[in-house]
Amino acid sequence: MSQHNVILTDTHTHIYYHAGSPQLGEHLNRCFEQDVHRLFLPNVDVASIAPVMETVQAYPQHCFPMLGLHPCSVKEDYVANLAAIEKAIQLHKIYAIGEIGIDLYWDKTTLAIQQDAFRTQIGWAKALGLPIDIHCREAFDEVFAILEDLNDDKLFGIFHCFTGTLAQAQRAIDLGFKLGIGGVVTFKKAGLDTVVSQVPLEHIVLETDAPYLAPSPFRGKENESSYLRYVAEKVADLHQISIEKLAQITTQNSIDVFGI
């Protein structure tokens, strides 16, 4: 297939982990072979800003940055880290604040500061007219509490790696969010396929979260953005449409969110 009729968008990938190595080019060439031409890169902490920007500078037509403080990076020094990231945002053109949110899988003791960091960064996004890219792990209630408290016409974005129920999907959609669907939709017992089949495609974007959460048949191995093709094929199959049509819809959805 030529890139002219199929353009897939990976709305969430850490491909910049390969910045400065020959692997970056190899990974991107495999992306292009699989019609993945647009990649959105979230940093996770202060240290990862540089490789994100290095990757974007190397592939400005294909890679687009977002910046934020990942909830797992919210520690005692989070206020200083937020200040450093806010400064970087002033220096670079970015397309979202992310990835941000709440993660209670790894550490429940930091909930209060995670909530504070999340609220602060939502404030940045609103002030800049940008979407937010939400990381939510075992924290739907906590994330929704903040989103519903801060809900207005300036709050929008993507629920990255959405793995919730149909009711949670609807709650996110009602708040103006797209659902980021990744490799989990290909896992046989995850149940996400049942949810995705019932969500109108206008609310869905695709992602890999590479190098994490590789889709079947690569489950358990290192994920890469070229594997977005397997996610796309699964979602297209669930909605009984062609991959060309799915690519068109989900890439347009990503344009609607990111403005590019």
Q: Is the pLDDT of residue 2 over 90?
A: no
pLDDT in tens, 229-256: 999 999 999 999 999 999 999 999 999 9
Q: Which amino acid makes up residue 106?
A: W
Q: How many CA atoms lie within 13 A of 100 on its CB side?
A: 29
What mean pLDDT is predicted for residues 5-25? 96
CA 80 to chain centre: 24
Cα angle value 227/19/243 (rounded, 5°) = 20
Mean pLDDT, residues 48-65? 98
Q: What is the mean pLDDT of residues 16-42?
A: 97
Indicate whether 257 pLDDT > 70. Answer: yes
Q: Which residues pair with 98 in a beta bridge?
A: 133
Orientation angle between helical segments 166-174 and 140-150, nearest 10 degrees: 20
pLDDT at position 12 is 98
Burial of 250 (0-12, 13-18, 19+ CB in 10 A): buried
For the segment 153-163, what is each residue's pLDDT rounded down to a tens digit?
999 999 999 99
CA 89-94-96 angle, 5° bins: 100
Read off the tokens for 35.
Answer: 């019609």
CB 135 within 8 A of CB 101: yes
- pLDDT in the model for residue 112: 98
Whether the per-residue pLDDT at 5 is higher than 90: the answer is: no
For 108-124, write each residue's pLDDT tens digit: 999 999 999 999 999 99
- Percent of the chain whose pLDDT exceeds 90: 98
pTM flag (> 0.85): yes
pLDDT at 27 over 90: yes
Eight-class DSSP state of 37: E
| pLDDT of 1 | 38
Mean pLDDT on 68-86: 98
pLDDT at 125: 98
Query: Which has the closest alpha carbon to 193: 208, 180, 181?
Result: 181
Tokens of 227: 């594997």
Q: What is the mean pLDDT of residues 70-80?
A: 97
- Separation CA 235–CA 241 (nearest Å): 9
Residue 4's pLDDT is what? 56
